[in-house]
């Protein structure tokens, strides 16, 4: 059997820190945290309260998790961040990125000084969290342009459609197609065509608001989602965007064909049964722009 002395040694050797918290947020004991790559000695915290260490908003969040673990009696697994801005007495300047932790919180079946207590094991998952973000970005992003891909577009459109149905918030869609890209590819090769697509994507990013969403829909076709924008403002923005695109594409001018952009615009309306109805009208407007001679904006 493991002796009490040996058990104390085992607890000290735990790589991740384990805290005993009272229901009021008092640090009653600290074990482990021997992985010095990620953790500092936490024994100096014993006797303090969470609210003594971190700012009130974050302290209240910790207390809520303790309360939830005590009331449920089940293991609570949570992910959370801590930065220098959360800790009292530290300057706001510091690392831009917070440290991410996975907390495993379990109610214990005894009292200390008359208070219920929990075991809180904190594991530094910053590297894992950053990798998850990177993988998520890769899965949502077009490799050539850095814009969102079709998968991300469909997810965002579904959310915006639900918001429109619930709150009647205006929303518009633009579909853009580069004119004469096939001729560029056939004449100069696909590398030049890719440069043309990238130039258009960069021009797009420079014109968008933070709330707008731009996606490469496929090939030389782009879709832009404009939340809180009616059709009149959408057409005005589309014409400004068309001029910006044409300026960006001007270095790719061909003697026998103008390199430009055609745009179809549509607003979401009450009769739309899904975002696909809005997208379809914008697509039809794009084809109308092509039939009208290209390099123009048509709304539906």
For residue 168, give both structure tokens: 């009647």
Extract the tokens encoding 214. 């731009």
Strands 76-82 and 171-179: unpaired
Q: Is 272 a catalytic residue?
A: no
Q: Is CATH 3.30.450.20 what the domain over 4-131 is classified as, yes or no?
A: yes
- In this prediction the pTM is 0.60
The CA distance from 28 to 225, in Å, is: 52
Q: Which tokens hold the place of 66?
A: 């303790």
- How confident is the model at residue 255, as a pLDDT? 63
Q: Is the dihedral of CA 245, 181, 152, 131 positive or negative?
A: negative
- The closest alpha carbon to 28, from 113, 109, 121, belongs to 113
- Check: CB of residue 260 under 8 Å from CB of residue 246: yes
What would the pLDDT profile of 6-50 be if each residue is shown by its tens digit?
777 777 888 899 999 999 999 999 998 887 877 888 888 999 999
**Strands across the sheet with 171-179, in order?**
213-218, 221-227, 171-179, 260-267, 297-299
Query: Cα–Cα distance between 108 and 121 in angstroms, integer?
Result: 13
CA–CA gap between residue 82 and residue 38 (Å, rounded): 13
Tokens representing 169 are 């918030």
**Run means of pLDDT, 10 residues per run, the chain, 300 residues:** 71 88 96 82 90 94 96 95 81 66 95 96 88 72 87 89 89 91 81 86 87 89 92 92 84 68 94 93 94 92
Exposed, middle or buried by CB within 10 Å (0-12, 13-18, 19+), for 173?
buried
Q: Where exactly does CATH 3.30.70.270 map onto the chain?
A: 141-299
d(CA 17, CA 217) in angstroms, rounded, equals 47
Written as six digits, the tokens of 9 are: 């040694």
Beta-strand (E) ranges in 92-170?
A: 99-112, 115-124
**Cβ neighbours of residue 295 closer than 8 Å, sequence gap 6 or more:** 179, 242, 246, 258, 260, 261, 262
In the prediction, which pLDDT does 43 show?
84
Kind and range of the H or E element at 80? strand 76-82
Q: Please classify residue 96 by burial: count the beta carbons closer than 10 Å to its beta carbon, then call 0-12 exposed, 13-18 middle and 19+ buried.
A: exposed
Query: What pLDDT does 90 receive?
Result: 61
The per-residue pLDDT for 26 is: 96
**Sign of torsion over alpha carbons 241, 244, 246, 249:** negative
Fold designation for 141-299: Alpha-Beta Plaits (3.30.70)
Domain with CATH 3.30.450.20 in the chain: 4-131
Q: Which two tokens stand for residue 72?
A: 């449920």
Choice among 16, 220, 272, 283 that is catalytic: 220
Length of the chain in residues, anyone? 300
Tokens of 77: 């697994």
């Amino acid at each position: 059997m493991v002796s009490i002395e040996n058990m104390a040694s085992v607890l000290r050797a735990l790589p991740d820190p384990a805290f005993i918290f009272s229901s009021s947020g008092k640090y009653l004991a600290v074990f482990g945290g021997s992985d010095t790559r990620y953790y500092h000695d936490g024994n100096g915290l014993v006797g303090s309260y969470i609210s003594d260490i971190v700012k009130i908003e974050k302290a209240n969040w910790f207390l809520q998790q303790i309360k939830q673990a005590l009331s449920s009696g089940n293991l609570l697994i949570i992910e959370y961040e801590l930065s220098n801005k959360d800790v009292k007495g530290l300057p706001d300047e510091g690392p831009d990125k917070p440290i991410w932790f996975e907390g495993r919180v379990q109610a214990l079946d005894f009292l200390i000084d008359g208070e219920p207590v929990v075991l809180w094991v904190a594991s530094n998952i910053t590297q894992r969290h950053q990798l998850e973000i990177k993988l998520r970005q890769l899965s949502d992003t077009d490799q050539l342009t850095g814009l969102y891909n079709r998968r991300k577009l469909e997810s965002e459109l579904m959310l915006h459609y639900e918001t429109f149905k619930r709150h009647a918030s205006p929303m518009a869609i633009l579909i853009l197609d580069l004119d004469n890209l096939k001729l560029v590819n056939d004449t100069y090769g696909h590398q030049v065509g890719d440069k043309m697509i990238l130039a258009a994507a960069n021009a797009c990013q420079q014109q968008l608001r933070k709330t707008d969403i731009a996606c490469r829909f496929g090939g030389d076709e782009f879709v832009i989602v404009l939340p809180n924008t009616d059709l009149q403002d959408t057409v005005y923005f589309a014409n400004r965007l068309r001029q910006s695109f044409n300026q960006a594409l001007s270095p790719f001018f061909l003697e026998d064909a103008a390199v430009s952009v055609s745009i179809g615009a549509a607003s979401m309306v009450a009769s739309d049964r899904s975002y696909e109805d809005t997208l379809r009208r914008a697509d039809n407007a794009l084809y109308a722009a092509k039939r009208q001679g290209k390099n123009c904006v048509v709304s539906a």
